[in-house]
């Protein structure tokens, strides 16, 4: 059998062919009317993809660069900030805030869990200037409840800005920046928008723009005010990666094409696709005797699975790559060898998911000699989920638990884990 490499990772993700063609054809100078027209169109599309009326700026960097820009533009040395962390990405916020001289308060949740709202409320202080968090923590497969934190800030009349790393959340999670009151939201090119690494984008509220005028941390290349000023004339402050901008435009066109040219509706379809493929994967892994690492707060960006007893996750990751060229990720840091992570964002679909589940069955039975299930067990479970989801495709899911009126126990303490599982 031939071996064809396939990415099932949360970033980079599989590339969209139309975006690759656009990159190859992007032979233009960045200070020309041709590029200005392209860039202006892409910036407008990004607003629709993020789902905001706020200005969106683009940086030539990975998502980590955008996270640094958020800290450096919104804080001053000595500012008290609050970081909500439950994994490696959250820990980046802690390191970044400390590196810019902030006084950092931290609410930590164990890996595989999300933080309790009461703990966030207790840690919030009158002088807290910003709250930093993830929408989805792909190191553990967890989805955090952004609207619950946003509502808490409103209810307590906090002046803290809410900053959300949505690099793997956008395109996999229903996010409403403007309605919830998020002040800065970050996305990345190598994730749901299906192009190579190298671009990040930030949607910024007027409150956040105002804060930048009063903050004193050093910034030069990542000065968001420079980018906003230049963007208004269809340019970037410094030399942009022209080919990536062209690829981004093609990718956003593709998303819109999923809903007859309506980018907002196309984004919703991408989220539904991620939710469905995630649910298929979770059902298959459970049927094969594995356990979900973040069962109660699972993300549609990536599924984290505890390896079967006696089998290190590293062995499964390696065997999938060796036999089938299927690349998934091991756990990070202390979780290495304990969990494996399978992504669902961007250019993944039903057939990709079925293929991976079939390959996983082969590896577990033939390579790792796992017993207790037969070939097809995982595939049957996934097929049933797909059939059910297809039959109920019109059902709205605006919250990670499937409800439309609240966000599970974070907003409504009486709404428990059992109820969450019932609606997923």
Residues contributing to the annotated binding site for substrate: 341
Residue 78, number of CB atoms within 10 A of its CB: 10
Quote the CA–CA distance of 35 and 24 in Å, as a whole number. Answer: 15
R_g (Cα) of the chain, nearest Å: 21
- Give me the numbers of helices (H) and strands (E) for the chain, helices first please: 16, 15
Which H or E element spans position 364? none
Q: How many residues does the chain have?
A: 424
Of 289, 287, 276, 304, the C-alpha closest to 387 is 276
As annotated, the binding site includes 341
- DSSP strands (E only) in 205-294: 291-292
**SS3 category, 342:** strand
d(CA 218, CA 181): 27
The b-or-e profile of 92-101 (16+ CB within 10 A means b, else e) is bbbebbeebe
In angstroms, the CA 243 to CA 251 distance is: 12
């Amino acid at each position: 059998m031939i071996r064809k490499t396939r990415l099932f990772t949360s970033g980079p993700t599989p590339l969209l062919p139309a975006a690759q063609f656009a990159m190859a054809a992007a032979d233009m100078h960045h200070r020309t009317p041709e590029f200005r027209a392209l860039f202006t169109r892409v910036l407008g599309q990004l607003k629709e993809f993020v789902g905001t009326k706020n200005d969106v700026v683009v940086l030539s960097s990975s998502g980590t660069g955008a996270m640094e820009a958020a800290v450096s533009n919104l804080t001053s040395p000595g500012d008290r900030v609050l970081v909500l962390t439950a994994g490696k990405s959250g820990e980046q916020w802690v390191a970044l805030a400390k590196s810019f001289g902030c006084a950092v308060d931290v609410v930590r949740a164990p890996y595989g869990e999300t933080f309790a709202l009461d703990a966030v409320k207790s840690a919030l202080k009158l002088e807290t200037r910003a709250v930093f968090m993830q929408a989805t923590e792909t190191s553990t497969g967890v989805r955090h409840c952004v609207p619950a934190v946003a509502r808490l800030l409103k209810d307590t009349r906090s002046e803290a800005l809410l900053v959300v790393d949505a690099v793997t959340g956008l395109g996999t999670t229903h996010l409403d920046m403007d309605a919830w009151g998020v002040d800065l939201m970050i996305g990345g090119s190598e994730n749901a928008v299906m192009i190579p690494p190298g671009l990040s984008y930030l949607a910024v509220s007027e409150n956040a723009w105002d804060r930048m005028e009063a903050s004193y941390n050093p910034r030069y290349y990542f000065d968001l005010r420079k980018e906003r000023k230049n963007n208004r004339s269809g340019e970037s402050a410094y030399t942009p990666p022209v080919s990536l901008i062209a690829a981004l435009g093609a990718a956003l066109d593709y998303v819109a094409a999923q809903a007859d040219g309506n980018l907002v509706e196309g984004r919703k379809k991408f989220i539904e696709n991620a939710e469905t493929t995630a649910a298929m994967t979770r059902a298959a892994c459970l049927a094969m005797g594995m356990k979900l690492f973040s069962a109660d707060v699972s993300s549609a960006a990536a599924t984290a699975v505890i390896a079967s007893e006696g089998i290190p996750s590293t062995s499964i990751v390696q065997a999938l790559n060796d036999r089938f060229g299927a690349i998934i990720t091991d756990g990070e840091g202390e979780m290495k060898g304990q969990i494996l992570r399978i992504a669902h964002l961007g250019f993944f679909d039903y057939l990709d998911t079925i293929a991976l589940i079939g390959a996983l069955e082969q590896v577990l039975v033939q390579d790792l000699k796992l017993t207790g299930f037969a070939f097809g067990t995982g595939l049957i479970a996934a097929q049933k989920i797909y059939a059910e989801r297809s039959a109920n495709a019109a059902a709205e899911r605006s919250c990670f638990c499937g409800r439309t009126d609240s966000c599970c126990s974070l907003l409504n303490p009486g709404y428990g884990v059992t109820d969450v599982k019932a609606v997923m």
